[in-house]
A and B are shown apart, each in its own frame.
Chain A
Amino acid sequence: MGALAHRNFLKLLDFRGEELESFLPRWEAAAEKIGLTEKDVDFAVQEWIPAYWDTSLRGVRLCMAAYIRELVEMCSLDQWKKAGSKVVYGIMPSQPVCYRAIKFAGGDKVKISYPDFLMASVLNSFFNRADPLMEDTTVMTPRCRHCGLNKLRLNARRQDRIVSPDVVWNWGLYCNEGPKTEELIQCLEDPKWSYITTMVPHDQAYGSHEADNEERVQYLAAQLEYAQKKIGEITGVPVEREHMCQAIEEYHSYIVRLDYLNHLVGNADPQPITGNEITLFGAPTGMAFDTGFRYLREALETMIREVEARIAAGIGVLPKGAPKLGCHFIPFCLPWVDKAFLDQGVSLSFSTCFAFSKEQLNFIDCKNPYYTVAKHWYQGANAVNMKDEANIISEILKEYRLNGMLYGFYTFDRWLGAHQKTMIQMVEKQTGIQHFYIEGDFWDDENYRIEDRIRQIENISYFLHMEKMISI
């Protein structure tokens, strides 16, 4: 079964011929490194992936393949290190432009990776096997509700599934725990675990539009430039302005097309692809791929064509008229959530995390790239004060035809999740769109199994159906 399971998996993702033969041993080695057995891979091919992902869509297959290619690169970092390359880790949330600029500057002399986000996405979404890396009862105690990503990073290091990088660039611009995890790894596991942080306190006045605060944007820009310089000293590869500009253009061209896909899917009736699938394309805007956007872009364009064709043919994941829910971040690492809603006749449509405001889509000024990145950061909803966030989201929601919004799944996050119960009331008041909330953990469903949540999912679905019935 062994080699066959891996081969079947790659074939599922459209690897063929010479490419398949050359990639297969690399994938097998990577799978072993991250703890996937042949049985796990076979389970994914036979059961898990067919249950949650429509692999009849080439765009979906290509996107999954892009993730797998990136994962294989991540798993070969030890070899790259031996060959003399430097390794820089990024940690979500951060702006991938800054890391891609490092790649443009150094090529393969520097390898970048977001190991925890990548592993969580791949292991959970495609294999349902992240739990061995998220289980930890001793260091990050369960009662304290730590972030699954941070637990995964710590455990991945402990279990030697990821190499020690030359440096981690951690942005503590949302939560506190992200950067402190680097200190934890350094203190407990690996004194050579070196890191640089970029942090700005959340101290802005309630309701102020932070992107318009010149001082604030300048400060973040200065922090980013400072960190980039330090990293350049470590890698021996200085990042110049033109590298940042290249990265900005690359990123911008992806998000413009992603935004188009978001609108297609969010507004079409019936909805042509699932929430999990649209999120697959959105998540890479939160992490930098060492392999770049090349494979992702091909997948995205293919997906757009397929979605356009489905819309033209009236094909959807649910019948026409089915209610639609937007989300903060469709929990694609727990793909059963989307499926549970689909089973109730409701589709999850898009994530505000990967829906861009008009401001953000117009951000490609390269005169001062760090300033541009900083401004783009504060134009997003997640980094700013609660009222600013509510205003930004309300603007975004105007562009989508939704029956409701679903929040929650961020119980572990003292920044992104702490205030949602209040923030959604504000957005509801401003938009008139009914907001729902389900407590849960986006990365780790140990405490939030489907059996514990199905009643809420059913309740929300009933409610939306009844509303729809009366609206017709």
Chain B
Amino acid sequence: MEAIMKELAKQAKARPVLLQKAKEEGKKVIEYTGNFIPEEYIRAAGAEPFLMCRGGDPEAPDAVLEYMLRFMNPLARSMAGYWLMGMDVVTPITDLIVMQQTDNHVGRISELLEFKGLPVFKVGVPPDWDKQLAVDYYKDQLKKFVAKMEEVTGNKIDEDEVRKNFAKTNAINERLRKISELRKKNNPPIGFSEFIKLNHYSFAVDNDVMIGKLDELYDELKDAPGKFMEDCPRILLVGHAVAIGDYVVPKILEDAGAAIVADFLDEGIRTYNDDVALEGNLIDNFVDAKYVNKVPIDIFQPAWEQRFEYIKKLIEENRIDGVVWYQLAFDEIYDMECSCVAKWLKEMDMPMLKLESSYEYSRESMGPLTTRLESFVEALKGGKKNA
């Protein structure tokens, strides 16, 4: 596994260099911010996509404080922060940043980028997903997005190309699902720290290469021994996002002896359970898969009861011992949902730990953070012993 992960990491890290090369060859570079943007269309238009979802460093969010309120989540702030600090090598060469407008944090950061003169294209994602009005609105937004891709690249998008791209991402999803299933084993051969990185690499590495590597990895892992202690606590990680680079918390948990065997995150991870149908109208199919029929993200409304039903399903299917709620600082909607989830989990006698991250992982902060996480894991271990 290490060799494959290392190879994928190397290729993902090299992506900005490839983008620079592609740009020199006359290709367009298009950044996008999340799963509500079908990057398959970006590829079909002959452009190179790049996911803007980096986090884990406290300096990047702070870099926007001259312009924006500090009570905004650090992931959104990082979108502008890295560029403001000169640490973003892709945005300076990007031809367009396509930003999904799911909440106000991203909304205002989008405007900051526009204020600074960057080329931004917004795709509105209505939160009232269960209304036909909203579904039609989102479809219309995607059509505008497609038109914009054609305009920026100067290429007419071929539906068959898009279909092929969706087939590839479906193939990646299928393999991620298979690998994720391995985490249901009593002693999983792969942890969340690797699994989330696989997701992140899949956004950057060539699709065909990724499919091959995932096959290789699955073949290696399917009969591999577990990488954790026998009967270790099994954790479900729920929250907004584990951004690219924000790996501290999962690592501490797994180093402490727990296995994060399931996850329920809204961003920074592939929606690998939701394939896009390849027959018929692809925009309609995409909307069906990623918007209408998917478990709603936290900001959507209604959402929380349905999300909790999904959490219960994950708990049952994965034999969860404890839930870690991973929230970003100042994410007010997640904070509210957490209160509901905490209440419902308490009714189930399911232990929960709430963590808030401002990406502050200095030496002074690590001590208390590690203690909290390790104590939680110890408590879960104790619970298992007594059970």
Contact = CB atoms under 8 A, between A and B. Distances in A.
Given A145-B330, A206-B111, A206-B114, A199 B127 contact: yes
B102, B108, B137, B340: which has the most chain A beta carbons within 10 Å? Answer: B108
Contacts, number: 143
A205 B124 CA distance: 11
Q: How large is the interface on B (under 10, 10 to 19, 20 to 34, 35 or more residues)?
A: 35 or more
A233 to B, nearest CB: 15
A418 B69 contact: yes
Contacts of A202: 101, 104, 107, 122, 124
A410 to B, nearest CB: 8
Contacts of B127: 172, 176, 179, 197, 199, 201
B339 A421 contact: no
A226 to B, nearest CB: 6
B95 to A, nearest CB: 16
A183 B128 CA distance: 12
B111 A421 contact: no
Given A139-B339, A422-B115, A176 B299 contact: yes
Contact of B131 (A226, A412, A415, A421): A226
A203 B106 CA distance: 11
B22 to A, nearest CB: 27
A187 B340 contact: yes
B104, B112, B124, B141: which has the most chain A beta carbons within 10 Å? Answer: B104
B25 interface: no
A144 B301 contact: no
Contacts of B141: 203
Contact of B101 (A145, A203, A206): A203
A389 to B, nearest CB: 10
Contact of B69 (A143, A199, A421): A421
A219 interface: yes
A223 interface: yes
Given A176-B299, A183-B304, A415-B104, A386 B339 contact: no
B378 interface: no
Contacts of B122: 202-205
Contact of A197 (B105, B124, B128, B329): B128
A203 B125 CA distance: 8
B120 interface: yes
B305 interface: yes
A397 interface: no
Nearest to B128: A199
A422 B117 CA distance: 14
Interface in B297-347: 299, 301-305, 329-333, 335-336, 339-340, 343
B66 interface: yes
A208 to B, nearest CB: 11
Contact of A201 (B66, B114, B124): B124
Contacts of B69: 411, 414, 417-421
Contacts of B68: 418-419, 421-422
Interface string B67-80: 11101100000000
A179 B298 CA distance: 12
A370 to B, nearest CB: 13
A175 interface: yes
A197 B331 CA distance: 21
A361 interface: no
A142 B333 CA distance: 13
Interface string A222-237: 1100100000000000
Contacts of B343: 187-188
A417 B124 CA distance: 21
B336 A206 contact: no
Given A172-B127, A421-B66, A179 B301 contact: yes
B38 interface: no
A139 B330 CA distance: 14
A459 interface: no
A200 interface: yes
A135 interface: no
Contacts of B339: 138-140, 184, 188
Interface in B118-155: 120, 122-128, 131, 133-134, 137, 141
Given A385-B111, A414-B72, A419-B108, A146 B332 contact: yes
Interface in A160-209: 172, 175-177, 179-181, 183-184, 187-188, 197-206
Contacts of A412: 71
A321 B378 CA distance: 69
Contact of A414 (B66, B71, B305): B71
A140 B336 contact: yes
A144 B299 contact: no
Contacts of B102: 201
A141 interface: yes
B101 A146 contact: no
B71 A145 contact: yes
A201 B112 CA distance: 17
A422 B112 CA distance: 8
Contacts of B128: 197-199
Contacts of B333: 176-177, 180
A351 to B, nearest CB: 20
Contacts of B332: 140, 144-146, 176-177, 414
B142 to A, nearest CB: 12
Interface in A405-454: 411-412, 414-415, 417-422, 426
28 contacts: A144-B330, A145-B71, A145-B330, A145-B332, A146-B332, A146-B335, A175-B104, A176-B104, A180-B333, A188-B343, A197-B301, A199-B126, A199-B128, A201-B107, A202-B107, A203-B123, A203-B141, A204-B122, A206-B120, A386-B111, A386-B114, A387-B115, A414-B105, A415-B104, A418-B71, A418-B105, A421-B66, A421-B69
Given A386-B108, A415-B104, 15 more contacts: A140-B335, A176-B103, A176-B127, A176-B332, A183-B302, A188-B340, A199-B126, A200-B124, A200-B126, A204-B122, A205-B122, A386-B111, A415-B108, A419-B69, A419-B108
Sort A-B residue pairs by CB-CB distance and give the 10 closest, nearest first.
A203-B124, A201-B124, A206-B114, A414-B104, A418-B108, A203-B122, A187-B340, A144-B335, A203-B101, A139-B339
